[in-house]
Amino acid sequence: MPELSFLLAQVPQAVADGVLTGAIVALGAIGVSFGLQILRFANFAHSELLTWGAYLALVVVAFAGPGTPIGPLSFGWQLIAAMLLAALLTGGLAFAMDLVIFRRLRAKNANPLSMVFAGFGAALVMRNVVVLLWGPGTYFYTNELQIAVEVLPGVRMLPDQIFILGFTFAVVVLLHLYLRYSRTGMAMRAMAESPALALACGVKVENVVRWTWFLSGALAAMAGVFLGLSPQLHPEMGFNLLLSLFAAAILGGAGSLVGAVVGGLLVGLAENLPILVISPGYKAAMPFLLLMLVLFVRPQGLFGERS
């Protein structure tokens, strides 16, 4: 067991690493959380939207080039533009997925388990189409390698990572305002609270469902691009994050934006902090340990409403 002072000196860096991982998980978990509450099923194909988002941005980057790096960042405006475009396209892809698969199942009143398995099937197809189109190998947005800067005493971060944190924060704030004040946002929240009541109040359910899919896809694409920035893209990149996304969404409480963000950060911290004292071999288990502890006390998750 290392000395206490040595351990304490490592904590700030571990927190920084945890928050960074958490930011990406949070972006992806928002879609899962909405899906659980508004669409009422666990969409296991969500992780593939991250992968698709990352690869779609790669296509744009391949045409436009990563551009001249902006300041200390490893990429130029082209990658940011590519990400926004990929977000639109992935949103469309998610919408198309609903159109082709899930809407038909909903129309026939399929039970949630059928939806889950349809999601599994969709995930397999989507992942293998990525392999078909881009091959099983790895890709990079840029071959630049950044050197971390010391942002606080004992805390090193890459400029890219600081950008990711800032961007994620901005997206979450915008999304919060959207859900709070726009009509569609309010309708989504109403659906999340009670679909029957929302329907009775004249909310156009299919409209809300469509928006939910689109937003989930767009956010997943951003998470995917950020995941690809650190540092590579491969066909399993989204799938490898799937369990973390679900842990974050359930930990925070299904249907809650704040819950998904806090859940994401907690998952990131739970992966990074304990390994100061235990073997990193157990890293992957830590978020689930935390998840169990939280669910024992609050079965609806930290910010979830008791139904």
Partner 1 sequence: MMKWTGLAAGLALAAAFTPHQAAAQQPSCPVKIGGVLPLTGSMGPITTKIAQAAQLAVEHINQGGGVKGCPVELILRDDQGQPTVGVDAAKYLVEVERVPAITGTVSSGVTGPIIASVTAPSKVVQISCCSTASAFTLDGRSQGYFFRTLPTSKTQAYATASEMARRGLKKTAIIYVNTDFGVDMTKFVKLALPKLGGDIVAEVPYNDNQPSYRAEVTKALAAKPESLLLVGFPKDAVTIVREWLSLGGSQKIALNNSMRVMDFVNGVGPKFLNESFGMDNAQVAGPTVDAFNKSFQEKYKTDSAGPGVHTQYDAVMVLGLAMNIAKDLSGPAIKDAVRQVHAAGGAQVGTGPEEFKKAVQLIKDGKPIKYFGATGPIEFDANGDVTGPALVWKIQNGEIVTDRVISIEDMQALFKKVEG
- SS3 assignment, position 278: coil
Closer residue to partner 1 (CB): 232 or 300: 232
Q: How far is the CB of 203 from partner 1 (least distance, A)?
A: 37
Q: How far is the CB of 238 from partner 1 (least distance, A)?
A: 9
Q: How far is the CB of 284 from partner 1 (least distance, A)?
A: 6
Closer residue to partner 1 (CB): 187 or 237: 237
- Tokens 């571990």, residue? 14
Closer residue to partner 1 (CB): 24 or 260: 24
CA 117 vs CA 96, 217, 234: distances in Å: 18, 19, 24
Closer residue to partner 1 (CB): 153 or 281: 281
Q: Report residue 160 as tokens.
A: 């890219």
Q: How far is the CB of 227 from partner 1 (least distance, A)?
A: 6
For the CA atoms of 35, 184, 227, 122, what is the dihedral angle to 10 degrees?
40
Residue 145's CB: how many other CB atoms inside 10 A?
Answer: 9
CA 217 vs CA 45, 51, 84, 93, 146: distances in Å: 11, 11, 12, 7, 29
Residue 139 φ/ψ, nearest 5 degrees: -130, 160
Closer residue to partner 1 (CB): 235 or 304: 235
Q: Interface residues with partner 1 (CB under 8 A)?
A: 6, 9-10, 13-14, 17-18, 20-21, 24, 137-138, 140, 143, 145-148, 156, 158, 227, 230-232, 234, 236-237, 240-241, 271-272, 275-276, 279-281, 283-284
Q: How far is the CB of 207 from partner 1 (least distance, A)?
A: 34
Report whether 275 contacts 285 (CB < 8 A). no
